[in-house]
Structure 1
């Protein structure tokens, strides 16, 4: 199978915000487009918790990416003009170093010996990757969901490192509802006997815990309007039910089960725990003497696009408005877009027509302001 994935060796040892370090860590990443001679056309995309670096297809890997409708020639993030970098998050299990990898100091998987990871750590790792291309300042730093929080951490730790910022369905700090949901997800995994303190294997795998965790997530990723419109109270046909008196009866139950089944073996449970907790820990106010608005003052971006969705219950629209207001107070030229997409938090993955129009329009005005396209054949 074709593979466009590449690897960047992070500085070693890599010291973490909450203590501990990683030796021989690396980031998996993919790129699209060509880096301009002036190195001024780079767009860094930071992802949500579960995606890989494969955001879009390419000659190296023609399979569709998780943001296939947004990234590519002539698309919202037009790779004939922009050089796009998408890393897999440090701590994940999609190629970057995480709890499932071998600790070079012991020769055994890290498991729960993996150091505490924060979104600041993931941001710093991405910054090191960007620096390896000789890029001093990104044309645009884009982050969605957890990646949006990591993008704010990136700009906080490295102010002035991006001319513009696109913030999508994210938050400057974790709020009680999101923390509560993620806490339940982690509890479901840890209470599965097969989790065994993080010491599971393929034969003894916390499938039930991961399934419940994923179902809880999916419920919050979509809106009540979406659930009602798709499933209402439609029941399964008799031949689709089992003999369990408390088994699935409604189509929505079957949908959640199918969604979870596709996920549970595709994402490492310990990585899930670590990144989930990192999301809870993130609080931009730590950098502003307890105030988010103060922390947003020093990020150094000239322009920003902030997009939120009215039906998002996990990252409510008011949190995106707070980001937009804070960046505007800091002197940035800010466009705030509130979409009425019915798909809730997942809208940026599903409602790509409207998200693409907002992103593409913003980047087009940037290109018109003077960023030069890369010349054909320029090495990346």
Structure 2
């Protein structure tokens, strides 16, 4: 561990598998083998999800929400779980995705550690966690797992499939794999393929985790995961999620409170360092390292053009009637020109496509924090429907 660093909370991860539904969380268990996109088979599949609102008589008001890399399916509070969700200001009564009119389904990504099958889950064939025996994970696999939830709920056609970041990629994959299953698509701060710059950054994050001696080739003990690697990877991630302008406006050169520990001349001097330290320590008790590696790699592997050699060909498949693509000027993980190109590829005769570029300062994280700009854009899409 680095001099002066402190672990705020202990690791919380033990091997996981789906249990009975508690609170708002529900599960779909698929007992048949689940074929993975790049090879390998899961003997069974669990997908955790939550819902808000009511499905109407003809099941035409269902909205499928895919998440970014680290959130659970808990996108918003509900009577069954009153804790705030990761998209609390976007989903709910009177909010842009208004649950008085829409039935919203949010799924926990396949490969994650919040109920859906992933590397931290128990392999029923061995009784041990999958760890690195888990097959190669792709965005297409996450989309296909979401399809199982839609089928389980008896929905034959979605109103809209929507997602930010990794969730936007998954929404695209869903529309490519199942082109007749949704009338609408909303892709936020995402792209049809991972750009090289983002791949380079995520590659370094994965290397940092795997370089931690406690990673042990993925076979770490539940009470001794690679904490140092996760802390550093999270710090790098936090830096890339915001823009340089926001870091400067928010922290400048403000000094951190307190003094260095004795003998540590390279400890935290600036408030921005303290901020990164806090969020890194918070994250290590919330996310399984192997799950992080798999989901990160899935983002890098994604390329809509892989299916036929042409992004425009894949996105021209019939089914989608309306599409909204939203990007942020200061997002350097998913640059605005990526969203512009995506919107262009989605344009087809008879299909309504809107592209919106927002001047948010918060970079890639803007869809989580700049609600004053994002709420009207998302509300306009759903109000018009």
| Residue equivalent to 2:152 | 132
1:67/1:349 contact within 8 Å kept? yes
Which has the higher mean CA deviation after the structures are superposed, 9-18 or 54-63?
9-18
1:155/1:299 contact within 8 Å kept? no
Q: CA deviation at 1:11?
A: 5.0
Q: Paired residues, what number?
A: 364
CA distance, structure 2, for counterparts of residue 224 and residue 78 of structure 1: 34
Does structure 1 residue 306 correspond to structure 2 residue 331? Answer: no
SS state at 1:74 partner = coil
| Residue equivalent to 1:58 | 78
| Residue equivalent to 1:372 | none
- Out of 306, 314, 321, the position equivalent to 1:286 is 306
Structure 1 residues 81-128: Cα deviation after superposition (integer angstroms, max 9, x where no partner): 000000000010011111111100000111011111111011011011
Q: CA deviation at 1:242?
A: 2.4
Which has the higher mean CA deviation after the structures are superposed, 59-68 or 240-249?
240-249
SS state at 1:116 partner = coil
CA distance, structure 2, for counterparts of residue 203 and residue 75 of structure 1: 41
SS state at 1:298 partner = coil
SS state at 1:337 partner = strand
| Residue equivalent to 1:179 | 199
Does structure 1 residue 267 correspond to structure 2 residue 267? Answer: no
SS state at 2:282 partner = helix
Structure 1 residues 299-322: Cα deviation after superposition (integer angstroms, max 9, x where no partner): 521011111000001000111111
CA distance, structure 2, for counterparts of residue 222 and residue 245 of structure 1: 28
Pairwise CA RMSD? 1.3
Ranges in structure 1 where 5+ consecutive residues have no aligned partner: 367-380
When residues 247 and 27 of structure 1 are mapped into structure 2, their CA distance, relative to the original with a 3 A threshold, is same
When residues 337 and 346 of structure 1 are mapped into structure 2, their CA distance, relative to the original with a 3 A threshold, is same
Q: CA deviation at 1:293?
A: 2.0
| Residue equivalent to 1:108 | 128
CA distance, structure 1, for counterparts of residue 261 and residue 377 of structure 2: 46
1:144/1:169 contact within 8 Å kept? yes
SS state at 1:203 partner = coil
SS state at 1:218 partner = helix
SS state at 2:74 partner = coil
Q: CA deviation at 1:331?
A: 4.3
| Residue equivalent to 1:189 | 209
CA distance, structure 2, for counterparts of residue 71 and residue 299 of structure 1: 28
Does structure 1 residue 276 correspond to structure 2 residue 296? Answer: yes
CA distance, structure 2, for counterparts of residue 287 and residue 130 of structure 1: 23
Q: CA deviation at 1:250?
A: 1.1
- Out of 18, 26, 31, the position equivalent to 2:51 is 31
Q: CA deviation at 1:24?
A: 2.2
SS state at 2:60 partner = coil
SS state at 1:29 partner = strand
- Out of 343, 357, 360, the position equivalent to 2:362 is 343
Structure 1 residues 256-288: Cα deviation after superposition (integer angstroms, max 9, x where no partner): 010111101210000000011111000011124
CA distance, structure 1, for counterparts of residue 372 and residue 40 of structure 2: 43
CA distance, structure 2, for counterparts of residue 119 and residue 66 of structure 1: 21
**Structure 2 length-normalised TM:** 0.92
Structure 1 residues 220-272: Cα deviation after superposition (integer angstroms, max 9, x where no partner): 100001100011111223x2432311111111111101011110121000000
Does structure 1 residue 155 correspond to structure 2 residue 166? Answer: no
| Residue equivalent to 1:373 | none
Alignment of 1:324-339 (within 5 A): 324-329=343-348, 331-339=350-358
When residues 299 and 147 of structure 1 are mapped into structure 2, their CA distance, relative to the original with a 3 A threshold, is farther
Does structure 1 residue 208 correspond to structure 2 residue 231? Answer: no
Which has the higher mean CA deviation after the structures are superposed, 77-86 or 349-358?
349-358
1:118/1:282 contact within 8 Å kept? yes
SS state at 1:211 partner = helix
| Residue equivalent to 1:81 | 101
Ranges in structure 2 where 5+ consecutive residues have no aligned partner: 1-20
Q: CA deviation at 1:167?
A: 0.8
